[in-house]
Structure 1
Amino acid sequence: MTKKKAKQQGFRKEIDAPSLSEVNNSVAIPKNATFFRKLFAFMGPGALIAVGYVDPGNWATSIAGGSAFGYTLLSVILISNLMAILLQSLASKLGIVTGRDLAQASRDSFPKKLSYLFWILAELAIIATDIAEVIGSAIALNLLFGIPLVWGVCITALDIFIVLLLQHKGFRWIEIIVITLMVTILVCFGAELIMSHPDVREIMEGFVPQKEVITNPAMLYIALGILGATVMPHNLYLHSSIVQTRQYERTTKGKKEAIKFSFIDSTFSLTIALLINASILILAAAAFYKTGQTNVAGIEDAYALLNPTLGSSIASTLFAVALLASGQNSTLTGTLAGQIVMEGFLNIRLKPWVRRLLTRFLAIVPAVIVTALYGESGTNELLILSQVILSMQLSFAVIPLVLFTGDKHKMGEFVNKPWLKALSWFVAILIALLNIYLLLSLFI
């Protein structure tokens, strides 16, 4: 993109290199193909986004919500997912229309000092996400193979070699691995739901919002935790970048087609994420709430109680396998998000293995210290803290995204329609207010 064209689109200066330049515009889209062949070519980025919505940080809140309140908080999971579909569609549209990811757009639109602040907040969010992934994978290794938590945390650092290998093979390979792990998680929970015999009528009622969610402080606290663990700030940066891996025509017609297929891709994948998150809460409600075990909040507690509660010798193993798949899946997307944020905000390009080691080091050090000092209880507290940090950072990604996609000078004819602009601002303000309430509840 030339400097002149960049100014016409409302950005201050030219970007030196495209987002994720090593894979940008690398996945071929067949021309004059059928609808489904094109859809298949566009599908993949949505799966990488959906990973962030089923990472180990979601597990603790869904287990706590299901064991304490039964199926009631299914409505919160549904509403959070609808918010996610809206925000992710805006992120993909920003990347497709402007050729910039959210980090690049922020750097070019805000004063340098404010841009640096946003970069620091985004890095904190990625570190918090990485901590959740590290702890989740370590807990899974401990449950499956008896590996001590401290060693499990250290072992997770080795996944850098998996990421590097996949990056060399091409972006499609990363998408294939992610989709395979997502299917693994879905199959594991599908089997466990069959074992738990949930009440279908109560499940359907749970998806209907109840006034009690607002009036019951304990329920509201967990509901806000579910929201904070579901809508992930780093996913907005990630999605605005990886949609540009497709070789769609950079014309008005080509962009319209890319936006359409990207929306279908992300909506389908986030629906799978909804099924997984709902399955975790339904399993906790059917296995624990219905049997009077209403204080099951930790992942390890759930693992220990599943076999005797469901009367199956394989239930706990399936749970741990799904947890390991979730942690490793989130690792792949966390790597890409870290690269996008650093390159976009600072225009500094590090080698992928250097960036990954740096991110992993910042996540592993606190996890090792807390695990060594406080053991299992400490890792659960750190897991919850990571979700609080994510909640704090969310508005700093959502508000710029809504601002940019509602700016006609930047988006041209693709600018958000008035109804979409109003809805987007409503969601952005709602998220900000809910997170402020959550933080005040924690500190007061």
Structure 2
Amino acid sequence: MDQHVSGPVKHASGEPPREMTLMGWRRERGDASLSEVHRSIAVRKTGPNWRKALAFFGPGYLVAVGYMDPGNWATSLAGGSRFGYALLFVVLLSNIMAVILQSLCARLGIATGRDLAQACRDAYPNWVAWPLWFLAEIAICATDLAEVIGTAIGLNLLFGIPLEIGVVITALDVFLVLYLQNKGFRRVEALIITLLGVIAVCFVIQIVMANPVWGGVIRGFAPTTNLFTNPDMLYLALGIIGATVMPHNLYLHSGIVQTRDYGETEEEKRSAIRYATLDSTIALTFALAINASILILAAASFNATGHTNVEELGDAHTLLSPLLGSAIAPSLFAIALLCCGLNSTVTATMAGQIVMEGFLHIRLVPWLRRLITRVIAIVPAAVITVLYGESGTAKLLIFSQVILSLQLPFAVIPLVMFTANRAKMGTFVASRWITVLAAITAAIIVVLNMKLLFDFVMGYGAG
């Protein structure tokens, strides 16, 4: 673990002066997060506020991808098919938690010039930082594993490509990210936003076909007492919340907000924090709409017709055509899943870069760094697929979510502690009420994830 950087920090490069880098930290930051695109997107210093806000439009949508990845689809499908619209309130609650935590990520990155991985490295002694790095790498691999499987299932449903071949094909996105990032970070954001638009269109069409009971949808966003009296409903609610906030998103957001050249003055940073938080809040509201759409589609298509045990992605795809009376419905479902998987693999790969560089200060050539991250996920996915087929990948998907549950507290707790520390954040320290809400959110997520892990080990759970 690097104790110091090899040379002085240059103020002319847009970096804070050297005396500021050690304010409340054990070490200097060193190289910037994602240095090849660091401060590469200009921010207008003058002009109307909406023009300034547009410069920050983008990172939030990369973060939103993690809140609608294939790992979340199963819980939303199961919740909608089993309990109709009742768990929409849980989807809303989990989204509010996400908004709070991601706002802290933007604040940390902009105020300190450090992503979460760098902050952990620079704040803690090696005997703490190294285990945090190891756990973060495990979480990145687990995230990548879920995305690889989801993409492979999407390719299988849409084109009939065998799962094991689909798993290997997902490696190609490594080179797509490299190509787009060399063209500019805005190209990466454009790809992600375009695929999100395709996902939205697919679900709008499917929901129109399903013709849900809109009164039931509205009532579903209100709390229900059944949540505490029905063990199966509570279990699925825990699953939705526990799988929503992903560790890699916290590292990712704190890094990619620094792609904006927002300046170094206090006012410029305050403005950047405000616009970055607005961007992520709007993007996560979009993620809420997508997650709610999955649950609404499952409620209107499956629960309303007596199919109350639909949890597998393949089962949902098969049932949509006869239930909705249209051959296009399952194709739209598969297209949305494929776009979701592609988006998620791109952002998980970038998060892997931030974690490796941030914790270890190791800088590999981009294609090699991304290939290593992807191979670690592809090998187990390919082996399980060849040996056990679709049922094996489904179990592997569940296992990946359990791993994420284990690691999440080790990302959330440092984030809340850093942003509440005036010695580290200076005048940008999070307000007391935000810190209290974030601490409550962290406590809820930790408790629910531990419960999910306990139930997994003990073999409990719905169904």
| Secondary structure at the counterpart of residue 408 of structure 2 | helix
Q: Does residue 89 of structure 1 match 2:107?
A: no
Aligned AA (1:4)? E
User: Within 1, Cα distance between the matches of 2:143 and 2:83?
Assistant: 26
The aligned counterpart of 1:4 is 19
The aligned counterpart of 1:308 is 322
Q: Does residue 418 of structure 1 match 2:428?
A: no
Aligned AA (2:254)? S
Greater displacement, 302-311 / 149-158? 149-158
Aligned AA (2:20)? K
From 179, 188, 213, give the equivalent of 2:227: 213
User: Within 1, Cα distance between the matches of 2:171 and 2:75?
Assistant: 25
Greater displacement, 340-349 / 372-381? 372-381
User: Within 1, Cα distance between the matches of 2:357 and 2:116?
Assistant: 11
RMSD: 1.0
Post-superposition offset of 1:216:
1.9
**CA shift digits 1:333-375 (9 cap, x unpaired):** 1111001001111111111211111111111111111111211
Q: Does residue 252 of structure 1 match 2:266?
A: yes
Aligned AA (2:74)? A
From 383, 401, 418, give the equivalent of 2:415: 401
The aligned counterpart of 2:164 is 150
User: For this pair of structures, how many residues does the alignment match?
Assistant: 443
User: Within 2, Cα distance between the matches of 1:77 and 1:33?
Assistant: 38
The aligned counterpart of 1:386 is 400
Runs of 4+ in 1 over 3 A off after TM superposition: none
Post-superposition offset of 1:439:
1.0
The aligned counterpart of 1:41 is 55
Post-superposition offset of 1:34:
1.1
8 Å Cα contact 1:249-1:255 kept in structure 2: yes
| Secondary structure at the counterpart of residue 53 of structure 1 | coil
State the percentage of identical aligned residues. Answer: 59
User: Within 2, Cα distance between the matches of 1:29 and 1:186?
Assistant: 29
Post-superposition offset of 1:2:
4.1
8 Å Cα contact 2:32-2:38 kept in structure 1: yes
Q: Does residue 196 of structure 1 match 2:219?
A: no
User: Within 1, Cα distance between the matches of 2:63 and 2:119?
Assistant: 19
The aligned counterpart of 2:282 is 268
From 314, 330, 342, give the equivalent of 2:356: 342
| Secondary structure at the counterpart of residue 230 of structure 1 | coil
In structure 2, stretches of 5+ residues that fail to align are 1-15, 459-463
**CA shift digits 1:221-248 (9 cap, x unpaired):** 2112111221111101111111111111
User: Within 1, Cα distance between the matches of 2:158 and 2:397?
Assistant: 19
In structure 1, stretches of 5+ residues that fail to align are none
8 Å Cα contact 2:39-2:259 kept in structure 1: yes
8 Å Cα contact 1:43-1:265 kept in structure 2: yes
In the TM superposition, what are the counterparts of 1:23-422 in structure 2 within 5 Å? 23-422=37-436
| Secondary structure at the counterpart of residue 64 of structure 1 | helix
| Secondary structure at the counterpart of residue 41 of structure 2 | coil
Post-superposition offset of 1:215:
2.7
| Secondary structure at the counterpart of residue 337 of structure 1 | helix
| Secondary structure at the counterpart of residue 95 of structure 2 | helix
Aligned AA (2:93)? I
Post-superposition offset of 1:3:
3.8
TM-score (norm 2): 0.94
Post-superposition offset of 1:331:
1.4
Post-superposition offset of 1:111:
1.4
User: Within 1, Cα distance between the matches of 2:441 and 2:332?
Assistant: 36
